[in-house]
Structure 1
């Protein structure tokens, strides 16, 4: 039976990647936090998909809004900035797909999630909104099979525990994403790092090698290398995303300075 509201105690199940827990929000009757191996992965409120608890998810939401408002719709999209197709690499509890479905009813969305038992849990307990297709598989492998220029937006939020797999952090991945995006499309990537942000600097160089334009959005303290945290990497038709207090959006020359001569991350020889 699907939840449709909080249970009195957390729901804990075994999944392919370890142990998943759906923890109810005592303050919101249909609010849930998904944890995998004790690492928070997603927060969703089935009654209010616009309630975004994690700061980086709020940044992703603002990036989506800014892209839509900028009028940089992809070829085949609508003149009003409404996307036709969105690809989500990494599913979790489907926070961003639920948000997109609220903002753009009827948009076709494909979610790729590696763990089939986690997909079963989410489908059963937190049913996805209409228009959301979930495919079980490897994010990089499925991306490489997508038709060229097939998507307006690609949101990459792929983690193995608390780390990004190298398979979705190389020039091969960035190039595959660039091929899968229509003109005017946008790639959004969640990146987590610790000072001195060596992984992020290389990731910026990697994406800039595949895209003409890029941007980096995040807390100023994280971008300055003062603390660990999440940042959001943007590529393609990068909009001017509104920033909140103590946030920064690095673009153009600032991004060149940030990357500091880092070289793109290449795939290992096959």
Structure 2
């Protein structure tokens, strides 16, 4: 097992397992209920999974970053028969998840051990309906998965009407987040962001989920889910999102930076 990587079983709920890397919770999995998502950012990505197509219709999903395969489990439970592929560079992580938190019987997720960008650039055109990017290296989002060049490659891989979702994180002056969002706006005509107000204002470090498509996003459904969540969050889109991004220049391969490190006191995000 890689140093600092482990799965802990929840003593209060034996079916629930926590994937940790260097003491920070990366994912929570309920073996009895694959539709359960503990992380708020994953719940927000799930809002899109639920709203982007009619209920229970299978999807073709590419997960960039496998983690505990929590979102793959969710998609399989809510959209049975979905074709899913996950890309993960950390082979020890995948082996640990397979050994201690295996996928439910009948659920298949093809896993490739390669870099997320290499996977996207080599994928056939129009081969997926949904791409979920949740890529971290030492708790930071790598620069090369936020640039306009990477996002253009991702759009090429999506089918017409397909959707893109990404988990980003930032705090303070948002020097990482705003250029990353500007890059998404440069590639797709429709972009929306879901996050807690304190995070958007830079008062607290945290996750920001951004979604994009070449068709109208299901904004009304997403907004309802955000407002009704246990911890409500805001949804920004259209003119409001453009005002938020302000004069930030779209991140490119030449200018993109990695996200800042999380505060040392943060045990999950």
Distance in 1, matches of 2:241 and 2:206, equals 18
Could you tell me which of 191, 206, 209 is aligned with 2:186? 209
Q: Deviations over 1:180-239 (max 9, x none)?
A: 111111100000111122211111101111111100011111112221110101010422
Question: In the alignment, is residue 156 of structure 1 matched against residue 122 of structure 2?
Answer: no
- The structure 1 residue matched to 2:74, chosen from 85, 92, 99, is 99
In 1, distance between residues paired with 2:56 and 2:97? 30
Contact 1:205 1:259 in 2 (8 A): yes
> How far is 1:81 from its partner?
7.2
- The correspondence for 1:53, drawn from 31, 38, 44, is 38
Count of matched residue pairs: 244
Picking from 90, 94, 102, the partner of 1:115 is 90
* One of 228, 233, 237 as aligned partner of 1:247: 233
For the 8 Å contact 2:131–2:165, the answer to whether it is kept is yes
TM, length-normalised to structure 1? 0.86
Name the residue aligned to 1:262. 248
3-state SS of 2:84 partner? strand
The residue number in structure 2 matching 1:4 is none
Q: Distance in 2 between matches of 1:247 and 1:84?
A: 26
Q: Does 1:38 align with 2:23?
A: yes
1:65 counterpart SS class? helix
Aligned to 2:63: 88
The yes-or-no answer on 1:143 pairing with 2:129 is no
Q: Match of 2:199, SS?
A: helix
The equivalent position to 1:177 in structure 2, one of 137, 140, 154, is: 154
Counterpart in the other structure of 2:163: 186
Q: Which has the higher contact order (CA 8 A, sep 6+)?
A: 2
More displaced 10-residue stretch of structure 1: 30-39 or 80-89: 80-89
After TM superposition, where is structure 1 displaced by more than 3 Å over at least 4 residues in a row?
Answer: none
Change (3 A) 1:81 1:45: closer
The alpha-carbon deviation at position 136 of structure 1 amounts to 0.8
Indicate if the aligned counterparts of 2:58 and 2:80 stay in contact, CA closer than 8 A.
no
C-alpha separation between the residues in 2 aligned to 1:66 and 1:196?
32
Structure 2: segments with no counterpart, 5+ residues? 256-269
**Equivalents in 2 of 1:194, 1:21: separation in Å?**
27
Distance (whole Å) between structure 2 residues aligned to residue 267 and residue 158 of structure 1:
17
Q: Give the CA deviation at 1:65.
A: 1.0
Shift of 1:146: 0.6
Instruction: Name the SS of the counterpart of 1:68 in structure 2.
Output: coil
Q: CA RMSD in A?
A: 1.6
Give structure 1 stretches of 5+ with no counterpart. Answer: 1-12, 70-79
1:228 aligns with 2:211: no
Q: Is the 8 A contact 1:60 1:232 kept in 2?
A: yes
Kept in 2: contact 1:215–1:251 (CA 8 A): yes
